[in-house]
Amino acid sequence: MSASTREGLRGLLSRLGLLILGGALLLFGLVLFADATLDAASVGLGVAGVMLLYALSRLYAVVAALAGPALPEQARSLGRTKAELRDEKKRLLRAIKELEFDYGMGKLSKADFESVSATYKARAIEVMRALDGASDLHPELAALLREREATRAGEGGENAHTPEGAAPASSGASSEAAGLASSAADGDASSESPATSTRTCAACSAANDDDARFCKRCGKELAA
Amino acid sequence: MALPLATQLMIGAVIGAAALYLVAGGGETEGVLEYVYVEKVVAAPQTYLGRTIKVHGTVVPGTVKQKVGSSGDYTFEVEREGKRLAVHFTNMVPDTFAEGGEVVLTGQLSPSGDRFDSDDMAAKCPSKYEETPTAAR
Amino acid sequence: MTIATLGSFTLLLIFLMSLGTVGLSAVGAVRRSPRFVEAGIQALYASFGLAAFASSLIIYAFLAGDYSIQYVQHTSDSSMPLFYKITAFWGGLDGSLLFWVLLHTLFASLAVRANRERHREMIAHVVAVLGAITAFFAGLLLFHKDPFAPYLLDVPFSGRGLNPLLQNFYMIFHPPSLYLGYVSLAVPYAFGMGALLTGQVDASWQQSVRRWVLFSWIFLSIGLILGGLWAYEELGWGGYWAWDPVENAGLLPWFTTVAFLHSVMIQERRGMMKVWNLALIIISFLLTIVGTFMTRSGVVQSVHAFGEDSALAWTFGAFMLAIVVFSFGLLIRRLPLLRARNELESALSREFAFLVNNWLFLVCALFVLGATMWPTFIEWLQILGERYPSVFGWIDPGERVTIGPPFFNRYMRPLGLALLLLTGVGPLLAWRKTSGQSLIKQFLGPLVVGVASTITPAILGVDSPWGLACFGLCGFTFWTIVQEFYRGVALRRSKRPQGVLDALIGLVLRARRRYGGYIVHLGVVLMFFGWAGNATKIERKTQLQPGQSYPLGDYVIRHDGLRVTEDWQKEMITADLAVLKDGEVVDVLHPARWWYYQLPDQPTTEVSRYMTVTADVYASMQEVDLNSGWTQLSLFVNPLVNWIWTGMMVTLLGALVCVGTRKGEIEEA
C-alpha cells in the first residue's frame, strides 16, 4: 500500500469514526431526552441517519468543488510521473529476480537467460536514470547500452525500447542506477556484478563478473 | 516447421475442437430433452410416443393419490389451459411438490397415449420460491 | 412522510446523482477541468452515501416491521430472528438490485479513492463509466423494481415470511458472495474503458485492477462453493452441482476471470495479448450483466411468463447491446495502440500454455452460456414466429428442449481434464522456449507419478476411463507443484543456509504471486481428486422398516427406528440409521423431515452424513408411513467428496497469498 493510499484510508477512517460518533451521540440524545427505546429498529434508523449525513456532506463537496476557485487547466502530462516510473522499476526488478529464479530452477537455457535478463536490466537502468532526473549517462554505460541495442535489434529480441537520450556525458547519477539494478537483480544474494554482463557459476548458479576466474560465493573455479 | 505459427495454432485449434467433439461422444444428445406443455401433449399424443420428454403443468388439486403400502407410487393429473393429463409417478416426490403447484415431469407417454409415466420431477411452488426455482430436484 | 415515500425519493436521488456523476465527469474529462473532475468524484461518493441511506432505510423497515411496503411484507414476518430480518434485505429480486447498487457504488468509491492519484488523467473517464453503470441499475430500481413500493389499499398486518429452505446459513451468504464477485468486476471494466478512452493502454491500468479481478474471483469462488454445499447439505439428492442456470451464471465470469488472471501475466512479461486482455475484461463484465439478467428475471425458466413483463427484457437487452457496441467500438478504435511487442516463439513455452488455457476457459464459458440459454433461445424464436409470422415464419425452431446435466458433463469433463493437464504442464515450461534437455529434467518426475497414480486406482478397481484419467492427471499436476516447491526450496537453501521450513516460508513470501498461484493449483488438484471419486459413486433408493438392513457398498445401513418431535417452529420426524462397516457400528445417521408450522405443505428434507476421508455415507429421507414404519430413503456413498471442500479452502488460501502485499512490494491497489 502506498503512502497516498494509506493516507486516503486514514482520512476515510477518521471521517467514518466522526460520523459514527455523531450517530451514537444522536442516538444517546434520543434515548435520554426523547424517551426512545433502543431496539434494533432504532439502531437501523440511526445508521440511516448517519448515511444521510454522509451523503449530504458529499453533496456539499460537489457544490464546493464546482463553486471553488477555478484551478488551472489540467496539463496533458506528456512524461510519465515519478510514481509510474517507480512502479515500473519495481516491476522490472521483480521480473529480473523471477527470471534468475527460473534459471536457477533449470527452466531456461543459459543463452535465453542471458539475453532476456540483459534486456530487462537495460530497461531497468533506463527507468532508474529517468527517475534520477538525469538526462545524462555514464559514458561507459551509454556505450554499453548502444552496443546492446544494436545486437538486440539484430536478433529482433523483445522489448526493443531504446533509451532515448543516451547522450554521453559525465555524471555519477546513473552509475548508482547500474549498481542498483545489479544488486536488486540478485535479490537476497549479495553481489556487485555489473548490470549487463555476467557469468554464472556452474556449481551454485551465482552471477559473477564477466572477467571473474573464481566464483565469489562458493569459490569454485569458473569454466573458461 | 514450414508453416507460420499462426497457421499451426489454427490447425491445432481445429484438431482440438474435433477431438473434444469426438471424445464427448460425437453429438450424443443424452440429457437434451424436449420440453412440452400439457396442452400440446394432449392435443397430439402420438407425436411424443416412445420418447422421453419433459411435461410442464399444474397439479390438479384433489387428484393426488398414493398407493398404500408402497410409498413412492403416485397418480395425479396435471393440467394447463384446460387440458388434463393423467400421470403415474414412480419415485419420491420433492419437498416442494404440492397440489396446485407447477411441476415439470420427465418420462414417457404410455403406449395408449393417455397416461404419462414419469420417475423424475422438478416442482416449483407457486409462491415464495422465486429465489431458487430449480433448486428442488 | 412514510419510509416508503422517503425510500422511493432516495432512489430517484440516486438515479439523478449517478446521471450527474456521468455528466460532471464527462465535462471534466473533455475540458480537463479539475473542478469538474473533483465534483464528479464527489458525486460518485454521494451516490454511495445515498445508496447506503436507502439500504439502511429498507433494513429499518424490516426491523420495524413496516408491512405497508410490499417487499418487506413478501419476505419477512415478525417472528423471524433479527439476523434473518437483516439479510431478508437481499432475499428477493427488488432488494437484491438495491444491494447491487449499494455494493457497486461502494466498490466504485473505494477504487476511485485508491487510484485517483495514480491515474490522474484516466480517473474522470473511469468515474463516468462507473456512474453510467450505477445509473442503469438505479433506473431499473426506480422505474421497474422499486423495493419501496407500498400497498396502496389494504395494508396487511403481518408479513408472509421467508421460505424456511432459504433460512439457512448457506443461503444467506451464497447470493451476496456471488454478488460481491459480480459487482466488483465493474471496477476493472471501468478502468479498462478509462484506459481505452485516454489511450493510456500500457500495463499500468492492469496493475491497478489485477487485484480487483482476483478479489472478484475469490468471491465468485466462495459463492459457487457455498451454492454447492447448500445443494449437498440441504436438498438431499446427493450431489452438489446440477448445472442449474443460476449456478451457471456465476460460473461464466469465473471462467473468464481465471483466463484473465493468467493471460495478464503474458502481457506483463512479454507485452503480448493486450487486445485479448481488454476483451476478457469486457466479456467478464458483460457476463456478469448477462448472469444477473438470467438469474434475476426468470427468463431461463420460462420466456412465456417473462414475456408479459417485457420491459425488463428490453431494458437489459438495450444495456447489454450498449456495452458491446461501446466497449468493442473503443477497442477497435484503439487497435493501433495495442499492437503486441512480441511474437509467440514456440509451442513449448509458457506463453503458449497460457494461450491454450485461455482458449479452453473461453470455450468453457461459451459452452455453458450456450447450453444454458439454448432452450430460452428456441422459445424466443417460437414466440417471434407466432407473433410475426411474416418476418420469422420461415424459421422452424422445433420444440423447446431442456439441456440436462448429462449433456454438460459430457463436454465439460474433457475440457476440465485438459485444463488440469495444462495446470500440470504450464509451470514446467519456460517463458519463450523450453530447451530439450530441461524438458526431460522437468517432466520426468511428474510423468512417473502421473502413470503411477493412474495404475494404482485401476488395480484398486476403478474402471471408468474418465476417473482413471482424472486420477492420473491429479498425480501428474500434484507432482509438478511438489517439484516446483522442492526445487525452489533447494535453490534458496543453496544460496543461504536455512531450515527447510524457513526456506519454504521465505520462498512463498518472496514470490507471492507465483507460489500463491501454485497453492491455488494445489487446491484445484484436490478438487479434481474429489470429482474423480464420482467414478465409483453409489446411489440407491430404498424403503426400510425399523430393524431391516440394507447393504450399501462397503457399508450396511440398519434402520433403528423413527422418532417424532417438535419445537416452537416445526414438527420433526427423524430416523435413526446405524452405519455398519465390517459388522461394527461406525456411526448413526439422523436424516429427518421437518414440517414448519408456517408452511405445512412444504416439508424440508434434512440430510445426515457420515464423513470420512475416503467417502461420505449420505442419507436423506423422503416419505414416512408412521403406522407401518416404512421409510423411504435415498442412500449414497460419495467417495472423496470432502476433498472438494478441502481443495476449495486451499484454493482460497492460495488466492489470499496472491492478494496479500508486503511493505515495499509493488502496490496494486
Per-residue pLDDT tens digits for C519-563? 999 999 999 999 998 888 888 888 888 888 888 888 999 998 889
- Smallest CA–CA distance from C62 into chain A, residue: A41
- Does residue A207 register a pLDDT over 80? no
- pLDDT at residue A122, rounded to an integer: 84
A1: confidence class by pLDDT, cuts 50, 70, 90: very low
The answer to whether residue A145 scores a pLDDT higher than 60 is: yes
pLDDT of C253 higher than 90: yes
Low-confidence winner among C117-121, C176-180, C500-504 (lowest mean pLDDT): C117-121
Contact A/B (≥3 CB pairs under 8 Å):
no
**Cα torsion C463, C467, C471, C477: sign:** positive
Question: Which bin fits C557, alpha (ψ -120 to 50), beta or left (φ > 0)?
Answer: beta
3-state helix, strand, coil in chain B (%, to 5): 20, 35, 45
User: What would the mean pLDDT of C307-319 be, rounded to a whole number?
Assistant: 74
pLDDT band at C44 (very low <50, low <70, confident <90, very high): very high
pLDDT of residue A179: 44
- The shortest C-alpha distance from C208 to chain A (Å) reads 11
Please check whether residue C650 is in contact with residue C516, taking contact to mean a CB–CB distance below 8 angstroms: no
Range list of β-strands (E), A9-106: none
Beta carbons of C523 and C648 less than 8 angstroms apart: yes
A40-67 vs A3-33: helix axis angle to the nearest 10?
A: 130
Distance, first Cα to last Cα, chain A: 46
Q: For cell 543459459, name the residue.
A: A110
Contact flag C52-A51 (C-beta cutoff 8 Å): yes
The band of A192, judged by pLDDT with boundaries at 50, 70 and 90, is very low
Q: What is the mean pLDDT of chain A?
A: 66
CB contact under 8 Å between B72 and C623, yes or no, is: yes
Nearest to C516 by CA among C281, C294, C217, C253: C217
Residues 27-86 of chain B whose Cβ lies under 8 A from any Cβ of chain C: 28-36, 54, 69-72
Residue bearing the bigger pLDDT, A86 or C561: C561
pLDDT over 70 at C387, yes or no: yes
Determine the pLDDT at residue C397: 67
- Average pLDDT (B117-126) is 74
pTM of the full structure: 0.81
CA distance readout (Å), A212 to A143, A145, A193, A208, C579:
22, 22, 10, 6, 72
Please indicate whether residue C156 or residue A167 has the higher confidence score (pLDDT): C156
Tell me which of C93, C357, C399 to substitute to probe the interface with B (most B C-beta atoms closer than 10 Å).
C399
C542 touching B (Cβ < 8 Å): no
Rounded-to-integer distance, Cα C564 and Cα C576, Å: 11
C235 in contact with B at a CB cutoff of 8 Å? yes
Least confident stretch, C102-106, C300-304, C323-327, C603-607 = C300-304
- Cell numbers that stand for B58 in this block: 399444474
Cell numbers found for residue C591 = 436424516
CB C549 within 8 A of CB C557: yes
Higher pLDDT, B34 or C477: C477
Report H helices in C298-349: 303-307, 310-333
CA dist C130 and A139 (Å) reads 50
Q: Band the pLDDT of A35: cuts 50, 70, 90.
A: low
pLDDT at position C286: 94
- For B71, the closest of C414, C543, C604 (CB atoms) is C543
C422-439: per-residue pLDDT in tens? 999 988 887 777 777 778
Residue that wins the pLDDT comparison between C227 and C385:
C227
Please give the average per-residue pLDDT across A52-78, as a whole number. 75
Residue C295 has pLDDT above 80, yes or no: no
The answer to whether C645 and C225 have CB atoms below 8 angstroms apart is: yes
Highest mean pLDDT among A156-165, B12-21, C457-466, C600-609: C457-466
Residue B124: per-residue pLDDT: 66
Average pLDDT over residues C201-227: 85
Q: How many Cβ pairs within 8 Å bridge chains B and C?
A: 119
pLDDT band at A51 (very low <50, low <70, confident <90, very high): confident
Please judge whether C113 and A57 are an interchain contact, meaning their C-beta atoms are less than 8 angstroms apart: no
- Among A168-182, C314-328, C442-456, the range scoring the smallest mean pLDDT is A168-182
Amino acid identity at A127: V
C307 is written with which cell numbers? 414475456
Kindly report which listed range (A8-22, A84-98, A183-197, C414-428) carries the lowest average pLDDT score.
Answer: A183-197
Q: How confident is the model at residue A72 (pLDDT cuts 50, 70, 90)?
A: low
For C73, the grid coordinates are 411484507
